Structures are given as C-alpha cells and as structure tokens.
C-alpha cells in the first residue's frame, strides 16, 4: 500500500468515528468509553480493509477499487445522515414530500464535496498529475493541455452528476418505501428505523454508483482494463 492510501484510510476511519459518536451520543448516555473505542478501532479497521483488498486485488483488481469506494461511501453516508438529522429537525414535519426533499439535499451535498474527488483521485486511481497538468507540460503546449484537461474534467463531472442524481433517486425512493410502507409493518421506533432506512437506501444506491462510476464515469480512456485483472 502507498502512504497516501494509508493516510486517506485513516482519515476516513477517524472522520467516520467522530460522526458516529456525534450521532449516537443521544442514545448512549454515560458510555463515553464507546467513543474512544470507535476513535481507535475504526481507523484500524479501515487499514485492515485496504490491506485485505490489496491481497485480493492480486487476482481481482476491482476489489481494490471497491474497498476505497466503500471507505469514501461510508464517509458520505455518515455526512448524509448527519445533514439529514440536522435539516429535518428544522422543519419538524411528517410530510412525505418534505422528507424526500430533505433526503435528496442531504444526499447531494456530500456528493459535490467528497464523493467526486474521493472517487476520481483515489478510489478509481486516476492520475494525480491531472490535478495540475501544467506541471507535466512546458511551452505553448502547456496551455492547450490545461484547457483540454479542464474540458475533460467538466464533461466527466457532468456525467458524474447525471449518474449520481439517478443514484439519488434510487436512494430517496428506497428510503421513502422503507419509511412509509415498511415501517408500519414492524415494531421498531420510528427514529431508529429512519436511521436504519438511510443506511439501507444508501447501500442500494452505492451499488449503482460503483458500477456506473467504474464503467462509465471514471473508466480509463484508451485502455481496456479487465475487471478481473490483477493489481500491479
């Protein structure tokens, strides 16, 4: 594993632990030791996940990408949950349309800030020099290379938004189905089930996102990569 992989895995694990602790503080009074367990355990688990994925990637490369995609996705899900809880506390309503709108907003905010760059420059191993193409070019060709890279980035981001919005519709639809139809059939507290529904809906959307990101949005140009090719 590269140092950058270890550092980013630690950041994802630690940030996830902080968000989980913040979300669960209302349900575990006096259990402060759990906070320290999460802060210590989740970063280690993130490293273990990447290490195991690296071993499996020697035979199936997509596992390496999937592991990093899941770490980025976990961070996005937790931010999604945190933003949703905050926004829904402001409106205080049971309207299905308000629920759906708030859920869509809470899903899309982390997409722009975390998901695009996390997947492009880490999970799907796009070249880091794409961030600054002028460092790789000199003379008159530098401006053209930079402009071409800028146009490609804009096109890629547009495709990313389209497939992610579809993923958002899947996410919201699954969430509304679970909260408005399934919840009435089970005997779980509505507050707890809403949180469970967010996680389930995000998981379904994540499956869609991984497939479309890998084969449509972040596919490597001019290179036919076998899904089962080994990691180099």
Instruction: Show contacts of 119-122: CB within 8 Å, 24+ apart.
Output: 119/69, 119/72, 119/213, 119/217, 119/218, 120/156, 120/218, 122/4, 122/5, 122/8, 122/68, 122/72
Helices (H) and strands (E) in the chain, counts: 7, 0
pTM, 2 dp: 0.66
Write down the pLDDT at residue 78: 77
Q: How far apart are CA 38 and CA 18, in angstroms?
A: 8
More confident residue, 133 or 208: 208
Signed CA dihedral, 73, 77, 78, 79: sign only: positive
pLDDT tens string 71-102: 888 778 777 777 887 887 787 666 767 777 88
Q: Which residue has the higher pLDDT, 160 or 125?
A: 160
Tokens of 118: 């996390």
pLDDT value of position 28: 56
CB 156 within 8 A of CB 217: yes
pLDDT one-digit tens code per residue, 95-136:
767 777 887 787 777 767 788 888 888 888 654 444 444 334
Whether 87 contacts 105, CB under 8 Å: yes
pLDDT of the residue at 148: 56
* pLDDT at 139 (0 to 100): 41
């Amino acid at each position: 594993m590269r140092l950058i992989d270890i550092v980013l895995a630690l950041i994802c694990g630690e940030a996830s632990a902080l968000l989980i602790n913040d979300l669960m503080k209302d349900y575990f009074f006096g259990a402060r030791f759990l906070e320290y367990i999460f802060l210590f355990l989740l970063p280690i688990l993130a490293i273990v996940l990447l290490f195991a994925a690296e071993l499996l990637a020697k035979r199936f490369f997509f596992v390496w990408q999937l592991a990093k995609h899941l770490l980025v996705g976990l961070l996005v899900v937790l931010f999604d949950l945190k933003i949703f809880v905050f926004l829904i506390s402001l409106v205080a309503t049971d309207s299905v349309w308000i629920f759906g709108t708030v859920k869509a907003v809470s899903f899309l905010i982390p997409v722009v800030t975390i998901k695009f760059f996390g997947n492009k420059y880490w999970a799907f191993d796009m070249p880091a020099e794409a961030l600054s193409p002028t460092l790789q070019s000199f003379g008159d060709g530098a401006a053209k290379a930079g402009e071409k890279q800028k146009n490609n980035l804009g096109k890629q981001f547009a495709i990313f938004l389209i497939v992610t919005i579809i993923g958002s519709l899947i996410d919201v639809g699954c969430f509304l189905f679970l909260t408005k139809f399934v919840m009435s059939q089970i005997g779980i507290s509505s507050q707890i089930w809403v949180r469970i529904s967010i996680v389930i809906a995000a998981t379904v959307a994540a499956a869609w996102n991984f497939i479309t990101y890998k084969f449509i949005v972040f596919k490597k140009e001019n290179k036919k990569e076998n899904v089962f090719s080994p990691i180099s």
